[in-house]
Amino acid sequence: KDSDDDKSKDKKDIDSEDNERSVFGKKFFDTMQSSFMPINEPNFDGSYVLDFGDVLEIQFIGQVDSLESYELKRDGSINVPDIGKILLAGLTLKDASNLVKAKTENTFIGTEAFISLKNVRDIRVVVAGNAYNPGIYTLNGNSNILHAITMAGGIDDFGSYRNIDLIRNNEIIETLDVYDVLLRGSTSFAKSLRSGDSILVNPRKKLVTVESGVLRPGIYELDDDENIEDLIFFANGLDLHSDSEEMFIKRINKGKSIKLNINYEDIDSTLLKNGDSLFIR
């Protein structure tokens, strides 16, 4: 008969194991430290969209030799001596550079302009829904959805990793699926945020567990139309020693645990329910 100390030790081991297991994706935000957040340095990507507060450095070489910094004003323009007012807000850094170069060539003979982004603006965004600390956050213009969620403490225990909306001017302009980033290498999250944007972390959908027979057992969030085949893909595929002919689901139905045997040929058509556990021998 087990002693009380042995029972206590077993319970602690089980509790520790449960605490270590979390929904796939959670550790990504746990390890995304502030040191990886964007700092107030130039973004040399030509797709960066300029707006009020950005600072450009323009160097003229030729008939005119000068090096000056120009901050975009509230109307989105800069004022360059002898060239005049140039409206740049809403243009990408590449397009803005081409515009300044063209105006320079039309104004000065034999003069070339070199444009770089010296400093990026601050922006204010709202993180709403199922983040640990929803609220208004000040970031810089290099920030994206993942940066904003990290500043808000990550996704809480009821939030979705598969359904995060970027809202601009009261319209959803993008929906982020973190699994696309982690499992498929998607860079859709890289779109820069703008002041006034809202990031809405929607409630999670169904959680299912794959207990054995795969390379990465764990808890995964599934969309309504995803099946066992998708779950196995999320779990990094079948283990070399797994027996796909011995597969079953444990499901709670009306307060009772039931066992459902699954044929491997049916994994692409078998949907899972919230709370299901998949076992592969």
Q: Map tokens 């640990």 to a residue.
A: 132
- Res 232 pLDDT > 60: yes
> What confidence tier does 58 reach under pLDDT thresholds 50, 70, 90?
very high
Tell me: the pLDDT tens digits for 207-218?
999 999 999 999
Tell me: the pLDDT tens digits for 135-145?
999 998 888 89
For every residue of 111-143, DSSP letters joined together read: -EEEEEEEE--EEEEEEEESBSS-EEEEEETT-
- The type of residue at 244 is S
CA distance 174 to 189: 9
- Average pLDDT over the chain, rounded to an integer: 86
Vertex 99 angle, CA 95 and 103, to 5°: 170
- Res 188 pLDDT > 50: yes
> What confidence tier does 149 reach under pLDDT thresholds 50, 70, 90?
very high
Q: Map tokens 């808000």 to a residue.
A: 152
pTM value is 0.77
